[in-house]
Structure 1
Amino acid sequence: MPALGAQPAPKPASAVESANGMVVSASTIASQVGRDVLANGGNAVDAAIATGFALAVTYPTAGNIGGGGFMVIRFPDGRATTIDFRERAPVAATPSMFTDSTGNYSARLHHGSHKAVGVPGTVAGFDLAHQKYGKVTWAKLVDPAARMADTGFMVPVGLAASLGSPRLQERLAAYPATMAAYYRAGKPYAAGERMVLSDLGNTLSRIRDLRRDGFYKGTTAHLITAEMRKNGGLITEQDLLAYEAKERAPVRGIFKGYDVITMPPPSSGGVAMIEMLNILEGLDLKGAGHNSPQYVHWLAESMRRAFRDRAIHLGDPDFTKPPVDRLTSKAYGTRLRSTIDANKASPSSPADVTQGYESDETTHYSVVDKDGLAVSVTYTLEAGYGLGAVVEGAGFLLNNEMGDFNGKPGLTDSTGLIGTAPNVASPGKRMLSSMSPTIVAKDGKLVAVVGSPGGRTIINTVLQVVLNLIAFDMPAQLAVNAPRLHHQWLPNAITVEREGFDAATLDALRAKGHVVRIGSQQGTAHSIVIDARTGKKLGAADPRDRDAGAIGH
């Protein structure tokens, strides 16, 4: 979570090796918690749960118990499943809930009010994963985070820089409970100082002792609903009681003989990524050269087409029927490939469907245990620090995930608002997401665990890491370090990371008709790759995340 203008961390040249298990996350402290679970007999699901709860303490920009996300699990025998713990809309939600008294769309209501809070899913998702696939006792997985919140932890450099940002302080100042939790007398913590989060520790202790009931019932539920009543939010105790995480079959694709296992709707990421891989499979990517003008052109054109389909077709599968099989078929990829001109950018008309808002502030972590059980988790509060509001007395940050629903039915314009039917708010509905936790295998053997934060750029970041590994045979750390780019149909532009694309490449892209923009860093793809020769786990923490760490045992 680098502060604005902060210098990026030096890029490591090689991954961390381990003969047994590996955890890679945005917080070295949280990775250590997960690693200790593996070293003490827990499996990868256990370690993923413990890491997730620890991130709720040490990585508040996105680590959470007040948000939601997705988990992809691949078992050593090749079977795979997913856990959907995406937030849900409260019963009182309506398609037009983000309009003001005059009927006009309100960005403040959509993203910056307690009406933007979805019913949290993280605790229920971890509980379901543990019940079905965990090995050690639940209390042992939650207790490290509860103790760390209660007794304190040393603030790492990235967190200190993030909380020290004047822009963030101005935003969080609207919420006294947040300022009391994350600042001392209104002043940010310095790196190395001890931060104690007592209210969060008490909430985690209730979760430790009562499992999901420690969050969705009793004291914590009362505190959440009191926060809602006080601030005009919609979540009731019945909404909390009714929340359920769901186990869903993964979306699967094949690219050059590799199996790609990823998240189905309500994530759009898996469908879009497999659609792009199918388009790109018939092109000579390696011959074009990594990040060459031709390669970038092909990537951008595949992204353009997949993101258009994302907006038109994808939403919560419990409310709509997205054509997943058609969108991920080889035949459809072949047809889309035939529409690409190798020398000319395609148009993206403002009359076509545009994309809605989705914050860049998410987090991803990867876990593999000694037996080859692999877990890929991406979860979020939506914006950095979510709504910015800490639940008074409960100590955790609320999400503003309702902002991922469309703003208003039929409201689609060139600014990025979208009003297509599959993703309008409805009671109990899960909002569309780009989160793309992914696992790659070949010939029945685990190859890699990949994922990233970054809003809509998530899909393209994960795509490029997978391509770096498969199409270009890059070593694990270099595949994660490599410069990235993004295109999302509209706005009709390629955005490239500031470092890594030379002027001649950008000029050649412009000559093909592309609009090219220089952006900041894109994603943080904390990944694990299995060395095909030795079987060692190679943990590649993304250097774009200042506090990240890969820790094996």
Structure 2
Amino acid sequence: MWKSIHRHLHRRQATTPPREGCRLFDVPWIIILIQFIVILALVLGLFAFFLTRSESSPPSVYSTRTYQNFELQTLSPSSSPLTFRRRYKSSTETPSTINFDFSEDLEPTLSPVVLPIEVIASTTKSHQSTILENVNSVEVFENDENLRAAVFTSSKICSEIGKSILVRGGNAVDAAISASFCLMGALPNKASLGGGMMMTVKKKNGNVTTVIARESAPMNINLEELKKNPELTHVGPKASGTPGVLNGLYRAFQKFSSNRIQWKHLVTPTIQQCNKGFDLNEDLKNRSDAPALASFFKTNMRNNKLFCSGLSAILTEISDYENPLDSFYKGEMAQKLVKEVGGYLTVSDLEDYESDMASALCTEIDTDTKVCGPGPPSSFAVLANTYLATKNMSNLSKVNEFVKSSQGLTYKIGDPMFVKSSKKYAEELSKTSKRTSVETKEVIVNFKENGSTKIFVIDENNMTVSVTLSLGDDFGNLIYSSSGFFWNNKMRYFDLKNDNVPLSIQPGKVPTTMISPIIVVKNDSKKSNNKINW
């Protein structure tokens, strides 16, 4: 019987055709492989979802308290600086326009009053003499009856460098960046890699954008120490905030560059000039005998020229990096800078730094003219509403009264990462003409920034750029880096006497500033598009 069964099975196998490729076993393995891929994709998707959610939503990082006319946000100690900054960047928007209406507070117009505000409203030849009176060095291109392009700085050689960038096909932003590096060599007391900057850019289409790269308070600051010893915020290592100028310049390059000139070629002219030497201006000559600066001038001044070998070396390194920010804010250079300056600054502060880019605040100052500038922590809005509220006043005493009282508004402007303008604040703003200076007597912050300089560039395509570079006080905190720059002393612009106010000092916060790079835009559609209107 077993033999019969065996013969039957053998006969069946012989008559059954073989299955190619063992398909009997292929189907289950394909199904298993597909299931594995699907499960892996789901796991990775869930992981990415929770990671993105943790980076973008700030439920537990902030604690918000509302005071009389503003809301104050505080960083939770458990949040890392990197997460803190990323969450803020992804969740904050800046309004594109601000309109101030003080018509109810204005007196009838009798005669115009000239205020201490520089507004350039025309660029035709008939107005060139007025423009040139207000700048130290100008490189101008002329074409027929209209001014086609110009570079304004406080240094002749830096204006020439900016001009050379325009001649080579660069735009206004390219020229402003190159001039900024040049000023770090020509005016080390006002422009520096250890400082901050703000930039306002008007493109040909009329869109106006600001880049704010002001210094932020280090995350490891000792609040009690600074309150007990406020002099530490003026001079020395603990006076410095995290520098932002290089970050701001490179972000502007990424966003607005003409793409005709490489980043390296914007830096190279300054490297070359550092080796040739910059002519000393009168301000630096007068300071060359100061005891606190004796070492700086002894090392860098020869035959009335200022040489900057240290700056040349670090700019060479910055220009050679694929990402220039990595050379300064990360790695060995960051460690060297932190060790050198001391104080509260850490490598994490440098690694986590990021500038802000947003639409500019713009307000109409005439029927065909608007002025644009940066939002908080700049006090540009105060400048704009003060101008609007007083431009038709004829009583000088009332103008002075109003200007003094309006200065109190600056104390209500703070870093938008921490201070959010609420409805109550807007109501307060609408009543500024009735404010008295008594209300802000208890706040003592000297906003004057002697260590600052300006750049203004306009190119043939009507792109306009206004830049302010600043260290705070002249020569910043008086510490000169071996890399060829002075460190800032921006910590002194915080209010150390009062807590829970917009100007109070907090880790990661950017102090309020009175300086603003502004652009005045003429809305003149009747003129040809190739004419420049500011």
TM superposition score normalised by structure 1:
0.65
Q: Give identity over the alignment, percent.
A: 26
Please list the CA deviations of residues 21-70 of structure 1 after superposition, one character each: whole Å capped at 9, or x if unmatched: 21101111111111110111000110110010000000112011110021
Residues 121 and 244 in structure 1, CA contact (< 8 A), matched pair in contact too: yes
Q: Counterpart of 1:120 in 2: which secondary structure?
A: coil
Counterpart of 1:409 in structure 2: which amino acid?
N
1:254 aligns with 2:364: yes
The structure with the larger Rg is 2
Please list the CA deviations of residues 265-296 of structure 1 after superposition, one character each: whole Å capped at 9, or x if unmatched: 0112x111122123124x25xxx4xxxxx3x4
Q: Which residue of 1 aligns with 2:419?
A: 320
Deviation of 1:537 (Å): 8.2
Residues 96 and 408 in structure 1, CA contact (< 8 A), matched pair in contact too: no
Q: Which residue of 2 aligns with 1:224?
A: 337
Match of 1:434 among 499, 514, 517: 514
Q: Which residue of 1 aligns with 2:183?
A: 55
Q: Which residue of 2 aligns with 1:152?
A: 276
Deviation of 1:310 (Å): 1.4
1:380 aligns with 2:466: no
Please list the CA deviations of residues 357-395 of structure 1 after superposition, one character each: whole Å capped at 9, or x if unmatched: 233231111110110000111120111111111113x12
**Residues 52, 154 of structure 1: CA spacing in aligned structure 2 closer, same or farther, 3 A cutoff?**
closer
Q: Which residue of 2 aligns with 1:113?
A: 236
**Residues 533, 36 of structure 1: CA spacing in aligned structure 2 closer, same or farther, 3 A cutoff?**
same
Structure 2 runs not aligned, ≥5 long = 1-127, 133-137, 143-147
Deviation of 1:253 (Å): 1.0
1:237 aligns with 2:347: yes
Counterpart of 1:218 in structure 2: which amino acid?
G
1:76 aligns with 2:204: yes
Deviation of 1:297 (Å): 2.8
Q: Which residue of 1 aligns with 2:293?
A: 172
**Residues 225, 180 of structure 1: CA spacing in aligned structure 2 closer, same or farther, 3 A cutoff?**
farther
Q: Which residue of 2 aligns with 1:137?
A: 262
Deviation of 1:160 (Å): 4.4
Q: Which residue of 2 aligns with 1:163?
A: 287
Deviation of 1:215 (Å): 1.4
Q: How does 1:473-552 map to 2 (within 5 A)?
A: 535=531
Q: How does 1:78-97 map to 2 (within 5 A)?
A: 78-97=206-225
Deviation of 1:85 (Å): 0.4
Deviation of 1:299 (Å): 3.4
Within 2, Cα distance between the matches of 1:60 and 1:445?
Answer: 42
1:275 aligns with 2:385: yes
**Residues 260, 424 of structure 1: CA spacing in aligned structure 2 closer, same or farther, 3 A cutoff?**
same
Residues 405 and 437 in structure 2, CA contact (< 8 A), matched pair in contact too: no
**Residues 221, 324 of structure 1: CA spacing in aligned structure 2 closer, same or farther, 3 A cutoff?**
farther
Q: Counterpart of 2:362 in 1: which secondary structure?
A: strand
Residues 462 and 531 in structure 2, CA contact (< 8 A), matched pair in contact too: no
**Residues 302, 350 of structure 1: CA spacing in aligned structure 2 closer, same or farther, 3 A cutoff?**
closer
Counterpart of 1:18 in structure 2: which amino acid?
F
Within 2, Cα distance between the matches of 1:142 and 1:235?
Answer: 26
Within 2, Cα distance between the matches of 1:407 and 1:336?
Answer: 25
Within 2, Cα distance between the matches of 1:198 and 1:53?
Answer: 14
Within 2, Cα distance between the matches of 1:32 and 1:325?
Answer: 49
Q: Counterpart of 1:271 in 2: which secondary structure?
A: helix
Q: Which residue of 2 aligns with 1:65?
A: 193
Within 1, Cα distance between the matches of 2:440 and 2:202?
Answer: 41
Please list the CA deviations of residues 52-93 of structure 1 after superposition, one character each: whole Å capped at 9, or x if unmatched: 000000011201111002100111111111001001111102
Residues 73 and 81 in structure 1, CA contact (< 8 A), matched pair in contact too: yes
Considering only aligned residues, what root-mean-square deviation do their CA atoms show, in Å?
A: 2.9
Q: How does 1:390-429 map to 2 (within 5 A)?
A: 390-392=480-482, 394-410=483-499, 421-429=501-509
Q: Which residue of 2 aligns with 1:26?
A: 154
Q: Counterpart of 1:371 in 2: which secondary structure?
A: coil
Q: Counterpart of 2:166 in 1: which secondary structure?
A: helix
- The count of residues paired between Structure 1 and Structure 2 equals 390
Within 2, Cα distance between the matches of 1:354 and 1:409?
Answer: 8
Q: Which residue of 1 aligns with 2:461?
A: 371
Match of 2:403 among 303, 324, 332: 303
Deviation of 1:356 (Å): 0.2
Deviation of 1:324 (Å): 9.3
Residues 266 and 430 in structure 1, CA contact (< 8 A), matched pair in contact too: yes
Q: Which residue of 2 aligns with 1:126?
A: 249
Within 2, Cα distance between the matches of 1:314 and 1:536?
Answer: 33
Q: Counterpart of 2:419 in 1: which secondary structure?
A: coil
Deviation of 1:122 (Å): 0.4
Structure 1 runs not aligned, ≥5 long = 1-10, 184-188, 289-293, 340-345, 411-419, 447-530, 539-553
Q: Counterpart of 1:141 in 2: which secondary structure?
A: helix
Deviation of 1:109 (Å): 0.6
Q: Counterpart of 1:29 in 2: which secondary structure?
A: helix
Residues 77 and 444 in structure 1, CA contact (< 8 A), matched pair in contact too: no
Within 1, Cα distance between the matches of 2:183 and 2:176?
Answer: 10
Counterpart of 1:56 in structure 2: which amino acid?
M
Within 1, Cα distance between the matches of 2:169 and 2:175?
Answer: 10
**Residues 422, 64 of structure 1: CA spacing in aligned structure 2 closer, same or farther, 3 A cutoff?**
same
Q: Which residue of 2 aligns with 1:413?
A: none
**Residues 422, 348 of structure 1: CA spacing in aligned structure 2 closer, same or farther, 3 A cutoff?**
closer
Please list the CA deviations of residues 294-329 of structure 1 after superposition, one character each: whole Å capped at 9, or x if unmatched: 3x4343233223211211x111001111359965x9
Match of 1:356 among 440, 445, 449: 445
Counterpart of 1:248 in structure 2: which amino acid?
A
Residues 444 and 495 in structure 2, CA contact (< 8 A), matched pair in contact too: no
Counterpart of 1:316 in structure 2: which amino acid?
D
Deviation of 1:172 (Å): 2.2
**Residues 212, 435 of structure 1: CA spacing in aligned structure 2 closer, same or farther, 3 A cutoff?**
same
Deviation of 1:349 (Å): 2.4
Within 1, Cα distance between the matches of 2:269 and 2:285?
Answer: 25
TM superposition score normalised by structure 2:
0.67
